Amino acid sequence: MTNPDDNMESEKIIDFIHHSPGISRESSIVTLEERISDEYPVHEDKKIVGDVLKSVPYILNMQSTHIWIDYVQDADVLYISYRKPQHADDSEMDDNIITHYSGENIVGITVMGAKKPL
């Protein structure tokens, strides 16, 4: 089921492209439709953005201005690094979470079984 607002926004983009020199309306419609259908549905895109925005306060509370996140799907392991490379000299494990330290500073967190409820 499509959202009427999404269709109106798409039409505005297409109309803008149509009036831009050097771009045909037909080629821009195909490109826009392929891009939307190939990437993911528009409604899912908005959900992803909403989920990321909910995490912003937590990200801002972290001690680092840079954060690297890697997920290995086959192993269901999430790696969060505050430094690349981490240069950890100590680690603590609590259940399925490993906290990596360099001195007193947390430089990374590993979450094993990331899809399972914590």
- Does one domain contain both 6 and 54? yes
Tokens of 42: 């528009």
- Does one domain contain both 52 and 73? no
Domain that residue 57 falls in: 1-61
- Does one domain contain both 72 and 35? no
Q: What percent of the chain shows pLDDT beyond 70?
A: 63
Q: What mean pLDDT do residues 36-40 have?
A: 53
pLDDT of the residue at 91: 96
User: What sign does the dihedral 57-118-46-28 (CA atoms) show?
Assistant: positive
58-107 residue pLDDT tens: 888 877 888 999 999 999 999 999 988 989 999 999 999 999 999 999 99
What's the mean pLDDT when you consider all of the chain?
Answer: 75
Task: Report which DSSP code applies to 2.
Answer: -
- The whole-angstrom separation of Cα 25 and Cα 112 is 49
| Residue, of 23 and 100, whose pLDDT is higher | 100
- Does one domain contain both 9 and 34? yes
- The whole-angstrom separation of Cα 14 and Cα 30 is 10
Structural domains counted in the chain: 2
pLDDT of the residue at 21: 45
- Does one domain contain both 85 and 96? yes
* Number of Cβ within a 10 Å radius of residue 80: 18
- Does one domain contain both 92 and 52? no
- Does one domain contain both 21 and 44? yes
- Does one domain contain both 37 and 48? yes
- Does one domain contain both 56 and 73? no
Domain termination residue (choose one: 13, 41, 61):
61
- The whole-angstrom separation of Cα 93 and Cα 110 is 9
| Residue, of 24 and 47, whose pLDDT is higher | 47
